[in-house]
Amino acid sequence: METRCHLGRPWRSALLLAWVLSGGLSRLVGVVVGVKEPSVEELRSTVPAEMRPNRAPVPDEDNAAVLFASAVRGTSETTPEVRAALQTLAGWPATVPSDLEPMLPRIRSWLGENAEALNLWRSASRCRDCRFPPASVTNVADGLRELGLLSLGLLCDAYLHWRDGDRAGSVDRLRDAANGGALFVQGAPSMLHYLVGSVQRRKALETVGAAALRPTVTGSDLKLLAGILSSSPDESAQFRLCLRSELWDFIAPYSRLESVARNYAGIHTNPAALALQPEELRRPLQLVMDPKLLASHPRPLDAAKSFGNSLAFWTEVDRRVSQPWSPRELPDSSIEERERFVEEFAPIEEALEGEELPLSDEAVERAAPLFRKMEDPVGRLLASLQNFSGVMYTRGYEAKTRNGAISAVVAVRRWADSHGGALPDSLQDLVRGDLLPRVPMDAFSGAPLLYSKREGKLWSVGPNTKDDGGQRDPVGEGAKDDLVWSVIPLP
């Protein structure tokens, strides 16, 4: 399925760019507009009641943001070498690359230096009633990267314990990593927190599945691993809660020109930010966000229209998430919008060819008459940008499917351990053998996961809802998108 994205609904690229550009956000861009923008509250008033976030208070003792903020103190001192090794080793490779072997003691030493943070992490992740406060950005927002590293550190330490024969210690660390991710998912107040939790939880559960395929795994090891998989929070439901908070706390404020201009203030000097965008929009994006050229337009952004597009889009996403998976693409006109915008902007780009940024007064004077002829140039530009969030709602379906699949992988290995290495004839055998409560479902088909004893794998039909025989093409190179899990031990 082709992933098509749009940004007339502003937070798509703005979310990533806000991180990339955060160092330059302190200098505001002065924008002169001839029409008064609607206030944030006026924009919010157009949100239907059913799409407004639930503002349930969070008691101080259950404030997960406070617990997690404490947990990351000191972890930001991770060296680049340790950080790179964490990223590499977190996937439980069959063999550790020789050049990373010297890093293993350093990772363990780094975790030892952060023993207090680890204990706080465990306390927070085992607090089933803990939630994040209902705010788009909490006091833990700046610690998300460190939390991710801490989670990776737990996975690497689990790897070390497993390699050294301490299976119980390894499973404890895997459980801590999975519980921490689950807490983030269950209590996330924003899409960013949800994504961090979902990614960290996925890494932990995939590591559990990889551990079950280790050639030296025993029946007792597998029983311990199965215990980690007992709780499976519904990510689809949490996605909907985050979506509504995002509309209220991020999309409404960032639909206004003042916020858009502030976020894109340094776009002309940030290659990493530009690289996120379609190539044909990089120079137009730099030019449109030039403060002087922007100020020459009487109404560069129709905030109400932009937010209305966002609201319509995310209302449709919310509706779909509450229902069985649909392979139909979300409504998206970004490619057509991009083609029209690039064509209409071409004369301005031609008039400013070779001009350095920021633009000189003479360059702006030359281009301004052409720019003023464009209706809603910033809004149309935003509607043309790459959308990194349009298909995020698939994560809930994929998480539901993946969690069941990994439970089945562990159960298959437990069956094989007690049947002389033989695989079960069907997943139903695992239910009859009390290794699974039920055959795991494929959220993309609404039917049980598919399984082949002969091929030693189980699979989901994936977002295209077609059974491709357990085949998956490389990204962007085909239509086969089955999600596949091997049940054969690693060599």
DSSP string of 335-355, one letter each residue: HHHHHHHHHHHHHHHHHTTT-
Cβ atoms 90, 148 nearer than 8 A: no
Provide Rg for the chain, Cα atoms: 25
pLDDT of residue 237 exceeding 90: no
Task: Record the pTM.
Answer: 0.81
Distance CA 60, CA 101 (A): 43
Q: Which two tokens stand for residue 262?
A: 């502030």
pLDDT of residue 489 exceeding 80: yes
Higher pLDDT: 21 or 245? It is: 245
- Which tens digits make up the pLDDT trace of 300-358? 999 999 999 999 988 999 999 889 998 888 887 888 899 999 999 999 999 999 999 99
Distance CA 184, CA 121 (A): 11
Distance CA 65, CA 83 (A): 24
pLDDT band at 65 (very low <50, low <70, confident <90, very high): confident
pLDDT of residue 32 exceeding 50: no
- Which tens digits make up the pLDDT trace of 390-434? 568 888 899 999 999 999 999 999 999 999 999 999 999 999 999
pLDDT of residue 371 exceeding 90: yes
- Pick the range with the lowest mean pLDDT from 85-94, 95-104, 127-136: 127-136
Distance CA 376, CA 290 (A): 15
Which residues are CB-neighbours of 348 under 8 A, at least 6 positions away? 284, 287, 367, 370, 371, 374
Tell me what pLDDT residue 25 has. 32
Tell me what pLDDT residue 265 has. 80
Look-up of token digits 């031609």: 350
Strand ranges, E, within 296-437: none
Which residues are CB-neighbours of 255 under 8 A, at least 6 positions away? 10, 43, 303, 306, 307, 310
pLDDT of residue 12 exceeding 60: no
Q: Do strands 457-460 and 450-452 pair parallel, antiparallel, or not at all (unpaired)?
A: antiparallel
Higher pLDDT: 77 or 225? It is: 225
Mean pLDDT of the chain: 83
Q: Which two tokens stand for residue 121?
A: 């992490």
Look-up of token digits 């090891």: 221
- Which tens digits make up the pLDDT trace of 184-225? 787 777 787 788 888 888 899 999 999 999 888 999 999 999
Look-up of token digits 């996403």: 317
Question: 151: closest CA among 200, 78, 102?
Answer: 200
> Sign of torsion, CA 157 158 161 166?
positive
pLDDT of residue 33 exceeding 50: no
Percent residues over pLDDT 90 in the chain: 41
- Pick the range with the lowest mean pLDDT from 90-94, 208-212, 254-258, 385-389: 385-389
**What does DSSP assign to residue 248?**
I
Span 160-172, mean pLDDT?
A: 91
Distance CA 276, CA 17 (A): 8
Tell me what pLDDT residue 17 has. 38
Distance CA 341, CA 327 (A): 29
CB atoms closer than 10 angstroms to residue 100: 15
Distance CA 460, CA 366 (A): 57
Q: Is 421 exposed, middle or buried (0-12, 13-18, 19+ CB in 10 A)?
A: exposed
pLDDT of residue 29 exceeding 60: no
Strand ranges, E, within 173-277: none
Residue type for position 148: G
Span 37-63, mean pLDDT?
A: 87
Describe the strand order of the beta sheet including 457-460 as a list of residue ranges: 450-452, 457-460, 483-486
pLDDT of residue 90 exceeding 70: yes
Cβ atoms 373, 348 nearer than 8 A: no
Tell me what pLDDT residue 5 has. 33
Q: Pinpoint the alpha helices (H) of 247-332.
A: 257-263, 271-275, 279-288, 291-295, 303-321
Higher pLDDT: 277 or 33? It is: 277
Question: 259: closest CA among 17, 72, 42?
Answer: 17
3-state secondary structure of 448: strand
Which residues are CB-neighbours of 468 under 8 A, at least 6 positions away? 461, 462, 479, 480, 481, 482
Tell me which range, 113-117, 137-141, 483-487, is most confidently predicted by mean pLDDT: 483-487
Cβ atoms 445, 461 nearer than 8 A: yes
Start-to-end CA distance of the chain, whole Å, equals 33
Q: Which residues on adjacent β-strands are paired with residue 459?
A: 450, 484
- Pick the range with the lowest mean pLDDT from 45-49, 236-240, 306-310, 320-324: 236-240
